[in-house]
């Protein structure tokens, strides 16, 4: 049985390995590239959820469970993205308030 950890979940969400403390860096990506990758993954999940809803409404898909799973994946990834955005904005505002 595979052990579920936060790191495994993050790797699945963002699409690339998350670096542990003390381990060599896996990829040399800039912060902007990581954000772009994460946003495109959230966008992909949103589109997948929309497609699943359309297929269910059209009668092409009979399994409502898969549709609900796609919706929840999209909702959770969007909530995570919004929390990361809020943290980035808070950090930016803190830097702006610093006196030099």
What pLDDT, in 10s, does the model give residues 81-91? 999 999 999 99
Residue at 63 is within a domain: yes
Could you read off the pLDDT of 65-81 as tens digits, one per residue?
999 999 999 999 999 99
Structural domain including 51 reads 6-16+28-97
49, containing H or E segment: helix 31-58
Domain count, the chain: 1
Does residue 36 lie in a domain region? yes
Question: pTM higher than 0.75, yes or no?
Answer: no
Is residue 22 one of the residues assigned to a domain?
Answer: no
Within a domain: residue 76?
Answer: yes
31 closest CA partner among 91, 77, 93: 91
What mean pLDDT value characterizes the chain?
Answer: 83
Cα gap 50→67, rounded to integer Å: 9
């Amino acid at each position: 049985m595979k052990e579920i950890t936060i790191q495994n979940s993050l790797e699945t969400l963002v699409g690339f390995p998350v670096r542990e403390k003390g381990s060599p860096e896996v990829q040399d990506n800039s912060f902007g590239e990581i954000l772009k990758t994460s946003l495109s993954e959230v966008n992909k999940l949103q589109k997948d959820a929309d497609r699943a809803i359309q297929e269910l409404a059209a009668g092409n898909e009979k399994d409502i469970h898969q549709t609900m799973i796609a919706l929840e994946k999209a909702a959770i990834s969007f909530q995570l993205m919004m929390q990361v955005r809020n943290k980035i904005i808070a950090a930016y505002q803190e830097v702006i308030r610093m006196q030099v």
